[in-house]
C-alpha cells in the first residue's frame, strides 16, 4: 500500500566539484564509498531512494544518517559531507538562498 510520495532532491555545497548527478556517479564509481551522502535518518525516504539509485546505477556511496534536515544541511554547507538527500520542500530554502546547489 502506497501511503504517500514526495519529490526528492540531492544537494551539495557550491564549493564541491559536482555540477550534475552524472559527476557524482562518475566520482562514486572511481572511488567506491569515498563520497558521503546524508539523509534525515535511517529508513527515511531519502535513504531508501538512494539505495535504489545506487543499485540501479552500479555505484556506492557512504550513507550518513542525521536526526533531521537542519543538522544534515549544516554539514552539507560546511563540507563535512559531500551530498545531502531530502524532500524538495525540506531543501528549498537552502537552494534558493544559494548556500547549496541542487544536482540535476
In eight-state DSSP terms, residue 81 is S
CATH number for 22: 3.40.190.10
| Averaged pLDDT in 10-residue chunks for the chain of 104 residues | 80 91 95 95 93 96 94 93 90 68 64
Domain range spanning residue 94?
Answer: 8-102
Residue 67 has a pLDDT of 94
How many separate domains does the chain show? 1
- Grid cell listed for 49: 531512494
Let me know if residue 3 belongs to a domain.
Answer: no
Let me know if residue 58 belongs to a domain.
Answer: yes
Indicate the pTM of the whole model. Answer: 0.85
Q: Which helix (H) or strand (E) holds 9?
A: strand 8-12
Let me know if residue 2 belongs to a domain.
Answer: no
Let me know if residue 53 belongs to a domain.
Answer: yes
Amino acid at each position: 500500500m502506497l501511503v504517500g510520495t514526495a519529490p526528492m532532491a540531492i544537494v551539495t555545497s557550491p564549493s564541491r566539484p559536482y555540477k550534475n548527478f552524472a559527476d557524482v556517479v562518475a566520482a562514486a564509481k572511481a572511488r567506491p564509498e569515498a563520497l558521503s551522502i546524508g539523509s534525515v535518518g535511517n529508513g527515511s525516504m531519502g535513504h531508501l531512494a538512494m539505495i535504489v539509485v545506487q543499485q540501479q546505477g552500479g555505484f556506492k556511496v557512504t550513507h550518513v544518517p542525521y536526526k533531521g534536515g537542519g543538522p544534515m544541511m549544516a554539514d552539507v554547507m560546511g563540507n563535512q559531507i559531500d551530498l545531502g538527500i531530502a524532500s524538495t520542500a525540506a531543501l528549498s530554502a537552502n537552494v534558493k538562498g544559494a548556500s547549496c546547489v541542487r544536482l540535476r
